[in-house]
Structure 1
């Protein structure tokens, strides 16, 4: 069966966007996401991924439309792999987030493979510039991947090689100022009401009503629920910070019924065999709710958190309280929700409203 392959640099939200596309499937043997080919599939994919860095491979569809085929990078030499393992151990000993450890080590691995396993002591600023030009820019990889590469390589050479590569050789890209994706209250309501299975419905309710990140919900323990105080304790959120989040009293009944029926041992939301629920399963729950609600948007579970913050602001909640509830270190991060909130926009009259027009 002909398929269309979808390739992209690792990005969690982008991966969730791919998973949200109908019929998208992961092929572990080829390590690639793909969808069955159909006559209308290409235009549909382009619309779905507009503005995102996804490479669509049509090689099994039309031979005349073959994109740039990049040569395979050589495998990583054992000696370089051992050095990267030392770096991985150093990061973990300093309690870097596991996602950061993986992203830094993966980017450094690609860097050395691109350099054909060049000895780290011989790597220069020119090698960084070459990788940036002939790998990152040539393949159209994202600004976030470029920044990740710069951060990872700088730290690797500072720690393991005890020398500093000049960061100015590659100008750090300006982070794209993208507005968060927000669902309307009506859309959120439809998603929250789409599923009837108690565990799945509770997952969606908590993501939105408490503004939780996916990892925060998955790591939520039964003992973190403090119903008598009306709060949830989010432990070791982003930046390894704890915070309190208000728990809506209207959800007390469904929470108690769920706990009584499911009897989770440690984590509030547990997998079928116990232990923490997986992010993949959580994404599938959201994908099913999105489909049943009839909302035709490339939404991800994180959109519920964005919507929670925006709806709070539209309801008049002070931005400083929203910052605390979301666990943002800087108010500048939270202020982005003022740009998608319609609270003030609705108060602005368009000049056309003052004209005596016949429409």
Structure 2
């Protein structure tokens, strides 16, 4: 669809980040496929029905219903698409007349020091490495899944993310304990290209199993909470916000500033 391509170019020209430039056009394409009619014939009722459909749509990752923030993001993409069509004269009217409230900020959940210890104590060797990568090193799930053995310098205790979110590269230091466990994990298994040698979805499932073993499954924790936890620790220990941004691989400082809103009552030693 040419208009989807042009909409994507419009987002690029307006300076939106790469994730928005990629996500919004795909979202709009799925919406148009659902409507099964030319864009000029789409009405407000079509958008309303799609919004209602999203309320019962299952996430391909969590298998549960889409979050309200996720739904709001999809609807925002559709609204911006019709704003673009009207602004460029491709439609005289704008069918997006819905007033959908974006969910208010929700405080990020973080693990306590005791809960982190409980996770490590209950973990298998594989689950322990997942904790090291996603907690101690602050990696995203996809980054952990795509991490290659050649990207870890055990001697220098450095981990290289060659292509993170938004194609950002970064170097992450790790502790002697992390070094020892990764070293043992690598040499105790067959030679392989990737450290974990499992998919991002399998990482999620392994962490889910670990939460259940640790008695933390029903407390609303997700794998991403590990990143929130290490970010909170670093800020509590006095690391500058800019350095925490670089550690996490955020493109914008505003994204990292979310973590300054977390209020915790504990200090934690580094692993």
Q: Report the TM-score, using the length of structure 1 for normalisation.
A: 0.57
1:331 lines up with 2:253 in the alignment: yes
Give the C-alpha shift of residue 171 in structure 1. 6.1
Distance (whole Å) between structure 2 residues aligned to residue 343 and residue 290 of structure 1: 22
Aligned ranges 1:1-359 → 2 under 5 Å:
83=1, 100=22, 104-105=25-26, 107-113=28-34, 115=35, 117-120=36-39, 122-123=40-41, 127=43, 129-136=44-51, 142-151=68-77, 154=80, 173-174=101-102, 176-196=104-124, 198-270=125-197, 277-295=198-216, 296-342=218-264
Q: Does the aligned pair in 1 maintain the 2:242–2:253 contact within 8 Å?
A: yes
Q: Does the aligned pair in 2 maintain the 1:207–1:305 contact within 8 Å?
A: yes
Q: Report the TM-score, using the length of structure 2 for normalisation.
A: 0.73
Two-structure CA RMSD over aligned residues (Å): 3.5
| Deviation digits for residues 68-100 of structure 1 (CA, Å, limit 9, x no counterpart) | xxxxxxxxxxxxxxx49x958x97xx9x66994
Secondary structure of the structure 2 residue equivalent to 1:199: helix
**Structure number having the greater helix percentage:** 2
Q: Does the aligned pair in 2 maintain the 1:314–1:343 contact within 8 Å?
A: no
Distance (whole Å) between structure 2 residues aligned to residue 123 and residue 150 of structure 1: 20
Over 3 Å counting, the alpha-carbon distance change for 1:201 and 1:163 in structure 2 is: farther
Structure 1, unpaired ranges of 5+: 1-82, 271-276, 345-359
- Report which of the two structures shows the higher radius of gyration computed on alpha carbons: 1
Over 3 Å counting, the alpha-carbon distance change for 1:164 and 1:257 in structure 2 is: farther
Distance (whole Å) between structure 2 residues aligned to residue 135 and residue 164 of structure 1: 22
Distance (whole Å) between structure 1 residues aligned to residue 21 and residue 153 of structure 2: 29
Give the C-alpha shift of residue 317 in structure 1. 2.1
Secondary structure of the structure 2 residue equivalent to 1:181: coil
Q: Which has the higher contact order (CA 8 A, sep 6+)?
A: 2
Secondary structure of the structure 2 residue equivalent to 1:183: coil
Distance (whole Å) between structure 1 residues aligned to residue 251 and residue 103 of structure 2: 18
Over 3 Å counting, the alpha-carbon distance change for 1:186 and 1:224 in structure 2 is: same
Distance (whole Å) between structure 2 residues aligned to residue 112 and residue 264 of structure 1: 45
Secondary structure of the structure 2 residue equivalent to 1:262: coil
> Which residue does the alignment assign to 1:46?
none
Q: Does the aligned pair in 2 maintain the 1:286–1:301 contact within 8 Å?
A: yes
Q: Does the aligned pair in 1 maintain the 2:48–2:98 contact within 8 Å?
A: no
Distance (whole Å) between structure 1 residues aligned to residue 120 and residue 165 of structure 2: 25
Secondary structure of the structure 1 residue equivalent to 2:165: coil
| Deviation digits for residues 282-311 of structure 1 (CA, Å, limit 9, x no counterpart) | 122111211111224132211111111112
